[in-house]
Structure 1
């Protein structure tokens, strides 16, 4: 993931997803710093709503899912895709 802010551009390397009482916690490293973010139920509903209302997101998700399925098929059959 990439974080862009007034402080600069940072890579967020996701290492763990944990379900807690207060929400979904994503933890990893942002640059050299340990970092974590908590996504509440309201945050998740807002994100899903944004995706569902954005037609371009549907095309992106479809391409992504079919790409993953093709990659899984290649991995199980031993194809290299070259």
Structure 2
């Protein structure tokens, strides 16, 4: 039996939105960690929960170092 495909849209109920964020946050951080190890990359992840609390992750380097590297890139190399 397979999983049901979820429609990606904003969760309207505040409590359900916070619970979903809390459950998925650790999975996202785990994936970022794995990507940083497997691909030998610098990574910085900054998230604000629906209630406004900060969550962050950085790989081998401090998050400040990764952000400084991004800020010092030329405008056309930032991609997006």
Interval containing the TM-score (normalised by the shorter chain): 0.3 to 0.5
Larger RCO of the pair (alpha carbons < 8 Å, separation 6+): 2
Q: Give the TM-score, by structure 2 length.
A: 0.34
Q: Give the TM-score, by structure 1 length.
A: 0.33
Bigger CA radius of gyration: 1
Structure 1 or 2: more strand by fraction: 1
